C-alpha cells in the first residue's frame, strides 16, 4: 500500500453514507416506529429480526447476532476488507480519498490489480472488434451472441502473440510483479509471457461490477487439448476467490431480485446462451463446485435457486454438496437435470427456450434429488442394502432444520424402503445424539448468556452505552477484573478510556476503532439497539453495579478458600490467621453489598 486512508476521510465517508440508504440497496427495509426492520440478509428467517436505527446509524440482527455500522455491513455483504469498504462507500458518494503517505492518487496494491484487470478487459474487447477479431466474432455470432451481449459482457479476444498484453500494459505503467500477481502473465525460463493467447475472453466481474479475473476459451476447436485446455481461468489472486464469485451475477442481480429466482449453470457460455434467448436471471460457477458461499451470495437477491447441470454433473454435485447447502440454506434449492452429456447451451440450441422453461417448472427440491441419487445406488430388495441406504438417507434428512419437513421425508423414506416410520425415527434420533456428543458442548456466548454474571456485565454496558451521563459512576468504581466475558472486558476498557463518551456522538468512533473484532461489533450493536425498558433506571443501574461488585468479591472468596484449606493452622498459624482474617473481611463486604441490594 502506498498510503493509509486518513482518519478524517474515513469519518467523512461514514457521515456521507446514510446506513438506511446503503442497506436499502441490498435488502428492502420497512419502517417500524423510529427504526427499520427487514429479514436478515445473513441468515434464513421468516419473521424480521434485523433492525436498523437511522439515528444511531447501527444495525443488529437479534436472530443471528450480527451487527455494526455502515462499514461492517458493506464488508460483510461484499466480502471485502475495511479499506475496500471505505473506498467503495467513497465511490458511492463521489468522495476523493486522501492518504497519509503519498498524494491523493495513491492506490493500494488491490486497487492496482483492479486497474490492471480493467485495462486488460479493454485491450481484449478492442481487439475483438478489430480486423484481427473477425474470426472470433464469427464464432460468437454462430453461437447466437449478438453485439448487445458482446458489449454488455465485454467479451474479448486474446492475441496469439506471447507478449501482446504484456507490452500493452507495461506501456501503460504497470509493473511485471503487479501483472503476475493479477494472474495476467506467467514467468517462464526466458522471461514473462501472456497467460491467455488465441482465446475468446470472458471477463469475470464481482457483484459491484469490477473486473477481477478472466476465463478464456480456445478459438480453434481442432487445437490439441492435451497441449492447451479448452477452457482456462485466472488463478486465485488477492481480489479473486472463485468459491465466492459467480459469473454473470453483476449483470443478472436485478432480474434475480425481480423474479426472486436464480439459475445456476456450469459455464460462461451457458449464461450467455440463456441470456441470448431472454433468460436473464442466470449465473455460473467459475470452475469450482457450487458452495455455501455462492448460496449466501444469491440469497441476498432471491429466495429460490435452481441448479441446472447435466445429469451426471448434477448427481455428483448434489450429493457432494447437498448436506452443506441444506444445512446453511436460507433459500429454497431446486435441481434440474438435463439429458446426459447436454449442457444448457446445447439444450437451448436444440430445443429452444420454451422447452427449457418446461424443465424449470419440473425442477425438484434438492433434498428429493439427493435422496433419489442415494437410493438409486442400492438394491432395495436386499435387507443389508436397505440398511445401508437408510443410513445414508438419514444423514441427508438430518441436515434439515425443520422438524415438520424431517417427518415428511421420513414418511417418504419409510414407504420407499418398506420399513416402519418408528424405526427411522429411532435411527434419526440416535444419529442426532451421536452428532451432539461429537460436537462442542459450549454454546456460543454471543447468542446465549449462561450466567447471572454475564447478564449483569451486558446490562451494565448497555446502560453505559445508552445513558453515559447517568451511568458514568461505573467507569470510576469498576475495573476490568469485574468482567469475565472477554468482549465485555474489552468494551469496558475502551469506554473507560473515553471518559467523556456521549451516546449521540461517540458510538461511531467506538465502532470504527473496533472494526477488526467481529464479536465486539455484534455486542456493541446489540447493546446499543436493545431498549432499556425499566421504570426506575437509576435504581436498576445501582443494583447491577452492586451485583457486579458482589460477583467479584465472590470470585475472590472462591480463590481464597482452597488456599486456606491447604495451610496447616498448627504448623503455619501466622499465614493461616492472615488468610482467615482476609476471608472474614471479604465475607463481611459481601454481606454489606447484599443488604444494599435488598
50: confidence class by pLDDT, cuts 50, 70, 90: very high
Confidence band of 151 (pLDDT split at 50, 70, 90): very high
Per residue in 553-564, pLDDT tens?
A: 888 888 888 888
Question: How many CB atoms neighbour CB 5 within 10 A?
Answer: 20
* Statement to judge: residues 303 and 169 lie in one domain: no
Contact 385/378 with Cβ under 8 angstroms? yes
pLDDT tens, position by position, 530-548: 888 777 888 888 888 888 8
Looking up residue 388, the CATH number of its domain turns out to be: 1.20.50
Q: If phi over 0 gives left and psi between -120 and 50 gives alpha, with beta otherwise, what is residue 341?
A: left
Q: What is the pLDDT of residues 502-527, one digit of tens each?
A: 555 455 555 555 555 677 778 888 88
Q: Is the domain of 73 the same as that of 114?
A: no
Same structural domain, 230 and 114: yes
368: closest CA among 338, 337, 328, 330? Answer: 337
Question: Which residue, 353, 372, 391, sits at the end of a domain?
Answer: 372
CB-CB contact of 73 with 19 (8 Å): yes
**Among candidate residues 54, 69, 93, the one where a domain is terminated:** 93
pLDDT band at 221 (very low <50, low <70, confident <90, very high): low
We report the CATH number of the domain holding residue 339 as 3.40.1360.10
Nearest to residue 46, comparing CAs of 305, 406, 303, 370?
303
Q: Does the residue 441 lie in any domain?
A: no
- 37, containing H or E segment: strand 35-38
Cell triple for 520: 465486539
3-state secondary structure (DSSP) of residue 11: helix
Q: What is the CATH number of the domain that holds 141?
A: 3.90.980.10
Report yes or no on 178 lying in a domain. Answer: yes
Query: What is the largest distance, in Å, between two alpha-carbon atoms of the chain?
Result: 104
Determine the distance from the C-alpha atom of residue 454 to the mean position of all C-alpha atoms in its chain, rounded to a whole number: 28
User: What's the rounded Cα separation, in Å, for the pair 532 and 526?
Assistant: 12
User: CA 351 → CA 107, 169, 309, 348, distances in Å?
Assistant: 50, 43, 16, 5
In terms of domains, do 593 and 459 share one? yes
Residue in this structure with the C-alpha cell 433459500, named with its chain if needed: 331
Give yes or no: residues 126 and 143 share one domain: yes
Q: Which pLDDT belongs to residue 514?
A: 52
Give residue-wise pLDDT tens across range 473-504: 778 888 888 888 888 888 888 887 765 555 55
Please provide residue 207's backbone torsions phi and psi, each rounded to the nearest 5 degrees.
-65, -20
Residues 182 and 208 in one domain: yes
Neighbour-count burial of 495, counting CB atoms closer than 10 A to its CB (0-12 exposed, 13-18 middle, 19+ buried):
buried
Q: Determine the pLDDT at residue 449.
A: 38
What pLDDT was estimated at residue 316?
Answer: 56
Q: In what order do the strands lie in the sheet with 199-205?
A: 156-158, 199-205, 211-218, 231-233
Which set of grid coordinates corresponds to residue 414? 419409510
Helices then strands (H, E): number in the chain?
27, 17
- The answer, as to whether pTM is greater than 0.75, is no
How far is residue 268's CA from residue 140's CA, in Å, rounded to a whole number? 13
pLDDT bin (cut points 50, 70, 90) of residue 320 is low
In-domain check, residue 579: yes
* pLDDT at 214 > cutoff 90: yes
* Residues 214 and 123 both lie in one domain: yes
On whether residue 101 sits in a domain, the answer given is no
DSSP 5: B
Domain presence at residue 46: yes
Structural domain span for residue 167: 109-240
pLDDT > 90 in the chain, percent: 30
- Please check whether residue 104 lies inside any domain of the structure: no
Closest by Cα among 528, 524, 523, 513 to 10 = 513
Same domain, 170 and 271: no
Helical packing angle, 537-565 and 573-597, nearest 10°: 160
**Residues in contact with 120: Cβ distance below 8 Å, sequence separation at least 6, in sequence order:** 165, 169, 182, 184, 211, 214
Total count of domains within the chain: 5
Alpha helices, H only, 43-108: 70-78, 82-93
pLDDT digits (tens, 9 = 90+) for 342-355: 888 889 999 999 99
Of the candidates 156, 69, 71, the one whose C-alpha atom is nearest the C-alpha of residue 117 is 156
228 & 120 share domain: yes
Question: Which of 158-167, 298-307, 394-403 reaches the highest mean pLDDT?
Answer: 158-167
- How many angstroms separate the CA atoms of 509 and 495, rounded? 11
Query: Cβ distance 406 to 373 under 8 Å?
Result: no
Please provide the DSSP assignment of 358-413 as one string: HHHHT-EEHHHHHHHHHHTTS-TTSHHHHHHHHHHHHHHHHT---HHHHHHHHHHH
Of the residues 240, 262, 289, which one is the last residue of a structural domain?
Answer: 240
Q: Do 343 and 291 sit in the same domain of this protein? A: yes
Amino acid at each position: 500500500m502506498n498510503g493509509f486512508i486518513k482518519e478524517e476521510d474515513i469519518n467523512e465517508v461514514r457521515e456521507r453514507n446514510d446506513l438506511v440508504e446503503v442497506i436499502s440497496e441490498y435488502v428492502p427495509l420497512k419502517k417500524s416506529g423510529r427504526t427499520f426492520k427487514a429479514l436478515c440478509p445473513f441468515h434464513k428467517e421468516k419473521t424480521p429480526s434485523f433492525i436498523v436505527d437511522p439515528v444511531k446509524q447501527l444495525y443488529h440482527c437479534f436472530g443471528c447476532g450480527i451487527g455494526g455500522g455502515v462499514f461492517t455491513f458493506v464488508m460483510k455483504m461484499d466480502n471485502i476488507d475495511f479499506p475496500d469498504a471505505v473506498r467503495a462507500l467513497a465511490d458511492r458518494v463521489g468522495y476523493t480519498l486522501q492518504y497519509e503517505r503519498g498524494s491523493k492518487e495513491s492506490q493500494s496494491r488491490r486497487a492496482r490489480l483492479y486497474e490492471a484487470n480493467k485495462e486488460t478487459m479493454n485491450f481484449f474487447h478492442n481487439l475483438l472488434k478489430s480486423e484481427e477479431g473477425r474470426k472470433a466474432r464469427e464464432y460468437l455470432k454462430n453461437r447466437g451472441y449478438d453485439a448487445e451481449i458482446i458489449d454488455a459482457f465485454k467479451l474479448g479476444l486474446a492475441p496469439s502473440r506471447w507478449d501482446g498484453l504484456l507490452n500493452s500494459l507495461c506501456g501503460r505503467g504497470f509493473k511485471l510483479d503487479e501483472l503476475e500477481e493479477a494472474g495476467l502473465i506467467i514467468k517462464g525460463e526466458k522471461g514473462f509471457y501472456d497467460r491467455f493467447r488465441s482465446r475468446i475472453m470472458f471477463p469475470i466481474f464481482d457483484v459491484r461490477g469490477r473486473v477481477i479475473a478472466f476465463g478464456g476459451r480456445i478459438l480453434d476447436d481442432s487445437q490439441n487439448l492435451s497441449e492447451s485446455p479448452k477452457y482456462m481461468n485466472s488463478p486465485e489472486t488477492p481480489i479473486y476467490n472463485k468459491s465466492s464469485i459467480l459469473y454473470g451475477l453483476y449483470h443478472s442481480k436485478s432480474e434475480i431480485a425481480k423474479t426472486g429466482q436464480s439459475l445456476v449453470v456450469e459455464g460462461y457460455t451457458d449464461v450467455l446462451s440463456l441470456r441470448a434467448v431472454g433468460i436473464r436471471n442466470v449465473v455460473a460457477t467459475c470452475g469450482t463446485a457450487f458452495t455455501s458461499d455462492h448460496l449466501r451470495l444469491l440469497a441476498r437477491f432471491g429466495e429460490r435457486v435452481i441448479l441446472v447441470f447435466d445429469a451426471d454433473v448434477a448427481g455428483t454435485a448434489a450429493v457432494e454438496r447437498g448436506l452443506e447447502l441444506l444445512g446453511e440454506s436460507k433459500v429454497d434449492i431446486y435441481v434440474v437435470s438435463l439429458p446426459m452429456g447436454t449442457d444448457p447451451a446445447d439444450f437451448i440450441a436444440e430445443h429452444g427456450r420454451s422447452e427449457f422453461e418446461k424443465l424449470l417448472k419440473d425442477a425438484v427440491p434438492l433434498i428429493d434429488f439427493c435422496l433419489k441419487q442415494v437410493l438409486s445406488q442400492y438394491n432395495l430388495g436386499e435387507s443389508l442394502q436397505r440398511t445401508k441406504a437408510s443410513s445414508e438417507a438419514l444423514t441427508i434428512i438430518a441436515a434439515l432444520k425443520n422438524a415438520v419437513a424431517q417427518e415428511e421425508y421420513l414418511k417418504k423414506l419409510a414407504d420407499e424402503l418398506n420399513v416402519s416410520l418408528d424405526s427411522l425415527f429411532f435411527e434419526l434420533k440416535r444419529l442426532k445424539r451421536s452428532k451432539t456428543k461429537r460436537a462442542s458442548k459450549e454454546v456460543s456466548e454471543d447468542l446465549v448468556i449462561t450466567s447471572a454474571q454475564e447478564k449483569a456485565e451486558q446490562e451494565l454496558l448497555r446502560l453505559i452505552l445508552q445513558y453515559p451521563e447517568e451511568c458514568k459512576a461505573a467507569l470510576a468504581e469498576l475495573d476490568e477484573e469485574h468482567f469475565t466475558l472477554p468482549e465485555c472486558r474489552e468494551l469496558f476498557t475502551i469506554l473507560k478510556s473515553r471518559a467523556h463518551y456521549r451516546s449521540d456522538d461517540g458510538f461511531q468512533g467506538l465502532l470504527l476503532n473496533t472494526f477488526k473484532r467481529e464479536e465486539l461489533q455484534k455486542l456493541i450493536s446489540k447493546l446499543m439497539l436493545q431498549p432499556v425498558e425499566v421504570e426506575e433506571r437509576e435504581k436498576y443501574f445501582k443494583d447491577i453495579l452492586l451485583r457486579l461488585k458482589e460477583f467479584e468479591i465472590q470470585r475472590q472468596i472462591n480463590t481464597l478458600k482452597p488456599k486456606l484449606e491447604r495451610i496447616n493452622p498448627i504448623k503455619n498459624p501466622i499465614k493461616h490467621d492472615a488468610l482467615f482474617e482476609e476471608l472474614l473481611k471479604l465475607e463481611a463486604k459481601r454481606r454489606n453489598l447484599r443488604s444494599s441490594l435488598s
